[in-house]
Amino acid sequence: MKDIKSEVEKCKVQVLVCTNERPPGKTCCFKYGGQDFYLALKTRLKQEGLHNTHWATRTGCLGFCNDVGTTVAIHRKGESSQWFNEVTATDMDSIWKEIVRE
């Protein structure tokens, strides 16, 4: 077993993006852009050189299913988590501002 505490301590922000996929006919974030939002976020973090300190993680169901967009949770050390629902590609800039704020 490897202790990864030193790696985890480098993380300033962790963003969870629901990419849950359900059978046809059932509402899920994957169907409403969750995977695409996650991939776009990962790409932007890499482009901005933040991928080592700002982590994006895709998740299964976060419990806020809808037929509009995905669910995103932003966890920052020492602060309450921020949760957003019905997030679409058009919300990327707003979410990004929350992710990179100091």
- Pairing mode of beta strands 54-59, 82-87: unpaired
**Each residue's pLDDT tens digit, 6-18:** 888 889 999 999 9
Separation CA 28–CA 71 (nearest Å) = 10
Q: Which residue has the tokens 């202790």?
A: 3
Contact 29, 69 (CB under 8 A): yes
pLDDT digits (tens, 9 = 90+) for 28-62: 999 999 999 999 999 999 999 999 999 999 999 99
For the chain, helix (H) and strand (E) counts, in that order, are 3, 4
Mean pLDDT of the chain: 95
Domains of the chain, each with CATH number or no CATH = 10-100 (3.40.30.10)
Report pLDDT for 102. Answer: 79
This prediction's pTM? 0.92
- The Cα 67–Cα 31 span in angstroms is 8
Q: 16 and 73 in contact (C-beta within 8 Å)?
A: yes
